[in-house]
Chain A
Amino acid sequence: MNAVQVAPAPAPHATGVELVRRAARGPVRRRRLVIAGTAVLVLALFAARTLLGDYTITVPDFFRILTGTQIPGASFILMEVKLPRAVLAVLVGFAFGVAGAVFQATLRNPLASPDVIGISAGASASAVVAIVAFGWSGSMVSLAAVVGALGCAVVIRLVAGPGGTHRLVLAGIGLAAAMLSVIHYFFTRADEWDTQLVLRWLTGSVSQANWSQIGVLALILVVLLPLVAWAARGLRVVELGEETAYALGEGPARQALLLVLATLLAAVGVAAAGPVAFVAFLSGPIARFLNAGRTTLLASGFVGAALLVGGDYIGDYAVGNVNFPVGVVTGALGAPFLLWLVATGRTGRRAS
């Protein structure tokens, strides 16, 4: 009763229960706002990516082409170049964003995203080995990337042992350096003209997008994302720490499953577009910042998609006649942020 008298209640007849309810509604409303806002941002960037640029397509033309009308020139550019690129960027960005947020929340360290701790590099190295050494293509490459990513994740986990994600980050950075040298080795054996392949597996790029690849990726995401959503129900509790989570009924098995699913997400993303630098690393913290410090997987997925589509747009048109792969742009954006995290000491849980 005392609390009701002290609080400057706007409604004179508010009870304690109502006050609590009103306080709990704030974060929910903010979360909805953030998700809606980031989704609108992705939609706007997607529209800009497909309609604007060197070859402008009007909105009525866009829908006419989609419904089957053939417009000479415009049809080809939209259906074979712009649209697949934008769709692939959205899918891969979403996968990276969710994977990064799951890693960062479960391991409780903003540095522990799959691209910083070497899982993306492992997937990429494994895919390059499959392409160059075994001549595989299509979904077999995705499979190789998944195997490589899981292998790296298991090695890092075993090396790091129980407790302390600093060791995990160190192991991941060392592993990423070694995987990079494996990729470099296979480049010296690849065909000389195939520079797109080289840069794609080194920095990540969506310029080689095609519909069959998008179909495979979309199918995998349709299966994986609901599983992640189911496994991530207890994520808020997991963020309190391993022991607290255990005491509250969130066993380590569910966390392990969540990490495996996130590793798979990162691996299929890498298989489709290469290890696009720092998208997974950036999405989580940006979404957390927007959502007042709470992890939202959906919002970080949208942030990841926005980063990838926007980065691809910038890389394509920012400098004259050169098409930079999206990884170059996101690498240039992400590295200063990583350095800022290091410089301000926000690499542990307490400050994030």
Chain B
Amino acid sequence: MTVADVRVTDPDPHASGTGRVATSGRSRRWLPLVAVLVLAGALVCSATIGAAPVPVEALWTPGHPDHAIAAARLDRTWLAAAVGAALALAGALMQGLTRNPIADPGLLGVNAGASMAIVLSISFLGASTLTAYVWFALLGAAVAALLVHAIASLGRGGASPVKIAVAGAAVTAAVTSATSGILLLDRATLQSYRFWAVGTVGGRGLDVLLTGLPFLLAGLVLAIAGSRLLDALALGDDVARSLGRRTALDRAVIGLAIVLLAGTATALAGPIAFVGLVVPHVVRTFVGPDHRRLLPWSAVVGAALVLLADTVGRVALPPTEVQVGVMAAVVGLPFFLVLIRHTRAGGL
């Protein structure tokens, strides 16, 4: 076992920041190659594996008998990759912004807020286009994110992990309860909602992705711009301010990026939890806490993870399909439990 291998299993990436600088040079050299290879493999798997397996060459041979299947699968492949990258980026940004190891858009009520806004828009405003969904999802995500963070910051000690998690659970419960109430008034919405609420990338065409793409790209640009800000914020607000940063503005920029990425991903694929939580932690053990490296590689690994989860879900329980939201929870929960077992989750 090499030194680098030992470091990989280090449960608390924040605790050993000084030791990492010396050892992570090795991992840095091969991580890009491995991550890109995994992503490419995941893309190919997602396009070829399923209820009817197709050969790889069907992808680029227009006359091939399986070409239509491969093309249809390619649509959901791009969607899964985009959603995974967006969720992982949003998670990495949230963890950096709140300096909280368990931050995740699914656990902190952002997805629930987006869900409720979409249900409201379908039920009361008659929204039926995806563009309208995206705008409402963004609004709901923003309101929920602000609410959770504002509530958790009240009182003594500021926003500790436990307070943020409980505030997220409470907001999720309240929002879910209100959503059920609306759905009861409107059975037609319930039927479409229960297939959307599970989190899936199947059955959505390329036009769905193209509608959301401008929002995702805007979020991506803001996230890249925010990576330097996050590194300054990681030193604490006082130090960041003494380094010349305007911390309130920085937080607003990063918050906007989170809302754009998580809200759009939720509008496109439904609520998917745990991706934003797991991926940044895995990536951080390889590249260290520097956000200029953490953010791009989180996006790559997040895309690969959601692609693989979607592909495995297609063949796990035939003849039905296990949606990607469920697969993400199945993969993410053990990781989450290990994480809180080994971190010194701060009290209140």
Category for how many chain A residues contact B: 35 or more
Query: Hey, which bits of chain B sit against chain A, CB under 8 A?
Result: 102, 106-107, 151-152, 154-157, 161-163, 165-171, 173-174, 176-178, 180-181, 183-185, 187, 190-191, 194-195, 197-199, 273-274, 320, 322-323, 325-326, 328-330, 332-333, 336-337, 340-341, 345-348
Q: Are A342 and B167 in contact (CB under 8 A)?
A: yes
Cβ-based interface call for A114 (8 A) = no
Question: Least Cβ distance of B17 to chain A in Å?
Answer: 23
| Binding-face segment, A65-73, A94-102, A324-332 | A324-332
The chain A residue sitting closest to B181, CB to CB, is A328
A211 to B99 alpha-carbon distance, docked (Å):
53
Cβ-based interface call for A335 (8 A) = yes
Which residues of the other chain, A, contact B185 by a CB distance below 8 angstroms? Answer: 322
Q: Are A171 and B163 in contact (CB under 8 A)?
A: no
**Which residue in B162, B163, B174, B328 is a CB contact (below 8 Å) of A335?**
B174
Which residues of the other chain, B, contact A182 by a CB distance below 8 angstroms? Answer: 326, 329
- Interface members, chain A 294-347 (any B CB < 8 Å): 322-325, 327-328, 331-332, 334-336, 338-339, 341-345, 347
Q: Are B176 and A178 in contact (CB under 8 A)?
A: no
Known: A171-B340, A185-B326. A342 touches B180 (CB 8 A): no
| Binding-face segment, A79-87, A198-206, A259-267 | A198-206
| Binding-face segment, A25-33, A137-145, A162-170 | A162-170
Cβ-based interface call for A159 (8 A) = yes
**Which residue in B163, B181, B340, B341 is a CB contact (below 8 Å) of A347?**
B163
Which residues of the other chain, B, contact A177 by a CB distance below 8 angstroms? Answer: 106-107, 273-274, 329
The number of inter-chain residue pairs (CB within 8 angstroms) is 163
The chain A residue sitting closest to B325, CB to CB, is A181
A331 to B182 alpha-carbon distance, docked (Å):
14
Cβ-based interface call for A46 (8 A) = no
- Interface members, chain A 102-122 (any B CB < 8 Å): 111, 116
Q: Are A164 and B347 in contact (CB under 8 A)?
A: yes
Which residues of the other chain, B, contact A331 by a CB distance below 8 angstroms? Answer: 173-174, 176-178, 180
Which residues of the other chain, A, contact B174 by a CB distance below 8 angstroms? Answer: 331-332, 335-336, 339
A336 to B162 alpha-carbon distance, docked (Å):
17
A167 to B166 alpha-carbon distance, docked (Å):
12
Question: Least Cβ distance of A323 to chain B in Å?
Answer: 8
15 A-B pairs (CB sep. < 8 Å): A164-B347, A167-B345, A170-B102, A173-B107, A175-B333, A182-B326, A184-B194, A187-B198, A192-B191, A198-B194, A324-B181, A325-B184, A328-B177, A331-B174, A347-B348
**Which residue in A116, A175, A342 is a CB contact (below 8 Å) of B151?**
A342
